[in-house]
Structure 1
Amino acid sequence: MKLKFYIFLFLLPVFVFAQQKQITTSIDTLKKPLGSEFKLSVKAVVKPTQSVVFPKLKNIGPLEVIESYPIDTIKKEDQYELIKKYGLTQFDSGKYTVPSIKILIDKKPFLTDSISIEVAAVKVDTLQQKMYDIKDIIPVKEGWGNWWKYLLGLVIIALVGLGIYFFIKKRQKKHIEEEVYKTPIEKATSLLNNLEKKELWQKGEIKEYYSELTDIARNYIEEAIEVPAMESTTSELIVALQAASVKKKMTLTPETVSNLERVLRQADLVKFAKSKPLDFEITEDRNKIQKAILTLDKAIPQDVVNEEEDILNEAQRQKQIQAQLKKKQKQRILITIVSVVALLFVTTGFFIVTKGFAYVKDNVLGHPSKELLEGEWVKSAYGNPAVQIETPKVLKRVDISKVLPKEGLALIKEMQNFAYGSLFDNFYLMVSTAKYKSTPNANGEEEQPNIDLNKALEVSLKYTEAQGAKNMIVKQEDFQTKEGIQGIKGYGTFTFLNENTKTSTKMYYEILMFSQDGGLQQIALYHEEGDMYANQMSERILASVELQKAQN
């Protein structure tokens, strides 16, 4: 007997450990007013080497998860306690069951315990609390979605285009100003003044300064005296200048030629021998060039020009200038357009390489289904028996009685239909409700008709075919709402033929059918097959379906 007792004591810790649950579930209270938060706690007891995954949930059964709290970790001896809390709420009073949820420990599933709770209605003292009439329905304004992104993109493109345009205009204006001087001396004087404004030698750019200075002098000599100064060496230029002065009967002093030659040779030393003149020498060289140009200009014999011919030449010159300006303006516009288009192509190409073509198509070019999915959704009830549903846009009342068979309409007491879009669009949603006429039974009593959901689904599919659906594939399964209301679901694909555009589109559809107290409730979804954003919308819409009983 003692031996058995010792064996039992020895094995007792083993039994206790084997019976200890790894997952325990608790809730802060079993009853709260509607809209209040229930805190569901899930505790996992694991070893340090084990991994635990708590699910990310938007809903737990009929309750909405309004807060997913961080995991608390408590170390106890050689084990860890991981506690995950979910904040739950419900806005309809009644008794609900928080169902089991799946927790993964080392990738093995463990289920939590289900818990029954009660959401109590809020009592209103109508004697103390003032009551107000229900407000009229306020129409929902159509939103522009992410309009600001497109506006920002257009502004950036416009700014880039304007920047390119004015940059080119400034460059061309400078170039045109260089081309339209009336005389060579006017051009040379203006270029000398512009050179001083640049302050090149003050910035240490002596070589560039001398290069521009001598180019101005050589250009003047080539244009005014008709000597090939730009291609000549300094020695060749001086010889050619002296020969031209004799030929043109120009009076040049030896000092003028000597000063010009000295500055040209100084420039050669700066450019090729890396000589660095002092500041006062640079100033003197600049003055010598200017004086030499003015002296040369005065020495050139002036031809007698007819006044009328001079006026005609000036008018012709102005006409050429205007024509040149117009040509340059067209070039600026063309270059700007090409630059902006090139920028768009480069940007688009960058996103295609880094993000993929689907990203560019959906986020840069735009995707109607994506805009609907990411827009502001609306939750509302439609028809009688009412269907409460969350949708990307408010559904509008439509009349489909003209396309339904007359024998079917004769059995309907009341029918309401609401829709968004059409089969011509990327996404089509319709909610329909109907109440059927009661019929007398053998005892003469009125009783509600027994609605065959399978036949109702057939009627709905015939309506779809009447709208242009061809080659329809039909699958069917049972469907249950989160409140436990049983119905059927028809789904599949068909080819939609658009008679207006003579095109065909492969479509996917889902149709839910429910029957309550002689009333029929239907939700139909249609969208292009393979549209992942439309698939996500369909899942969200169907998950939001809540049904109400018919009101007599």
Structure 2
Amino acid sequence: MKLKFYIFLFLLSSAVFAQKQVETSIDTTKNKIGAEFKLTLKTVVNANSKVVFPKDKRFGALEVIQSYPVDTVKKDGSYELIKKYGLTQFDSGRYVIPSVKILIDKKTYFSDSIRVEVANVKVDTLQQKMYDIKDITPAEDGIGDWWKYVLALVIILAIGAGIYWYVKKHQKKKIEEEVYKTPIEKATSLLNNLEQKELVQKGEIKEYYSELTDIARNYIEEAIHIPAMESTTSELIQAIRTASTKKKMTLTPETVENLERVLRQADLVKFAKSKPLDFEITEDRNKIQKVILTLDNAIPTEVPAEEEDQLLNEAQKQKQIQLQLKKQRNKRIAIAVGSVIFLLLATTTFFVATKGFAYVKDNVIGHPSKELLEGEWVKSEYGNPGVIIETPKVLKRMDALKALPKETMALIKEMQLFVYGSMIDNFYVAVSTTKFKNPTDIDLSKALEGSLKVIELQGGQNIIVKQENFQTNQGIQGVKGYGTMSILNPTTKTSTKAYYEILLFKQDQGLQQIIILHEEGDTYANDITTRILNSVELKKASN
């Protein structure tokens, strides 16, 4: 995002004069003893007007307990000034907040008087529970809790690894037991296990037919030595007919037809989304069981085996072992990963319940502003007259002269700009210094207006402006502007609410400026801003 400099101090547009009158309002006309009435005075003036609000300690019978800073809202070419006072009274009764005097360009205006009522507060000590003084809470040490998260993660991973090796050892024994069963025993056991899964009752018909036909194909492959798992239905039926002739197996046409019918039914269920009725599913299961038993009985007890058949038999056995090992390995991995995920979710849920989601998100997932705040800060001097500040990152020099109009460049002798981030980032810091060619009486309030106009050109909208004096730790006086705004992202066309602070100082023919901007409500960014402002030091301008 191309940055424009924050100095249009001499090119401000003329303001539109507003009607100079004072609006008076109060948040409530009835309150309890000692409670705060918030009185609001509002006026609309032009940019050059000087407004003086009263600084009295009492408004009539009510005491001023808080004089709030003036809120400034830009409206077209004018400014709406909002001044609030906190008033209170410690005796019950009815009172009148009198009219107060406001000076606008040395002309006197008066607010409206308002009647208020202060009521007694009933206190019943007999019904109030009394509590002991709480014990002193020990302060946390400076080590932090990071090691606890590392330890918890190591324990969770160790538990996952333990589960993986336990399941591996257990399943290895199970594989050794199952691989060397006779094909008919294995098929019968798998059929029984299939019924126990209750896939049909759960509506998982496709999965049921897939496992049913896999049991039949596995049996045929192991018992008759036909590559059934890799064959289509037509190829498998033809291979069975060929094998029955070659191995002199006594098979009726009905047995082969029943097998073919179930296999084709399974193909329709798996690929054509066919939905057989319940009695058809039961019949297909019975047909498969009957086919397997018939095939087992039809296999001759003594089958001549040539050397090629023996090698094929051994290859099939090894293939089955590897297939089973692969399935069980995947299952072990799934169980171990699932266990780790479960423990992580359980741990996260525990911390969310005890610490809150924001704590978990910021400390486990991460937060950009938190990382800046807790990272290694840099203290450096920028520009001339020099501005010394401490920031989370080093500010980079930018060429600001290219963005200024020719009329403005004619007034400037030297200008430097240093920036970290941009206005649409999580955190943005900019330091600028300017020296002018001719003697110029710099008005910091005007300079603040110029900076805000530049921010508007770069996407700032609905800017709320508050202004007050600012003093560095060395006693140098300046002006601080602060408030909120909406920032338009030119890429996404979305708007984000942001908080900003602008510091302005003048020295001889020099102007020093610091701008900080971040997302509103970011507590870590607020801490960063406070630390930066507390670190500000200024150097005298050099010729």
Q: TM-score, normalised by structure 2?
A: 0.48
Q: Which has the higher contact order (CA 8 A, sep 6+)?
A: 2
